[in-house]
Amino acid sequence: MNEASAEIHSVIVEREFPHPPEKLWRALTQPHLIAEWLMKNDFKPVVGHRFDFSAEWGAVSCEVLEIEPARTLSYSWGDHELKTVVTWTLTPAGAGTALRMEQTGFRENQPRYFQGARAGWPRFLAALEELLARMG
């Protein structure tokens, strides 16, 4: 099987929050808030901005691909062997917000990365939920 026909896998996590989209948007786009629930970073909400997420295990290189304030945020995640895209979609839902996170681009031969993302994103979103509750 050549690379062009290799199956691509995605990790999708969906959650509803009792907070308006603007509040979630701040938590997704302000570096000091992102650091509280995800990782240290030098993120800026500007298309084309290159940034890193860093943790004790190392760093991941990213680039902002798309921004539609309080609605959509998309950035590349990884370089070299891991080339994925993370897309956050915010949809008003009653008095709150439905949040969808999709990380796509995992290749068939990358089960370690795929399983890591499947295990990691639900934990990150739980930390995001705690941060949003503290933000008041």
Residue 2's pLDDT is what? Answer: 46
pLDDT of residue 29: 98
The tokens describing 71, both together, are: 């609605």
127: phi then psi, degrees, rounded to nearest 5 = -65, -35
pLDDT in the model for residue 79 = 75
For each of the domains in the chain, give its residue range(s) and CATH number, in order of start. 20-135 (3.30.530.20)
Contact of 108 with 114, CB cutoff 8 Å? no
Q: What share of the chain is helix, strand, coil (3-state, %, to 5)?
A: 30, 40, 25
Alpha-carbon torsion 83, 44, 30, 94, what sign? negative
Looking at residue 130, its pLDDT comes to 98
Nearest to 15 by CA among 129, 118, 132, 136: 129
What does the radius of gyration of the chain's CA atoms come to, in whole angstroms?
15
Taking the chain (136 residues) in runs of 10, the rounded mean pLDDT of each run is: 68 97 98 98 98 93 98 94 96 97 95 95 97 93
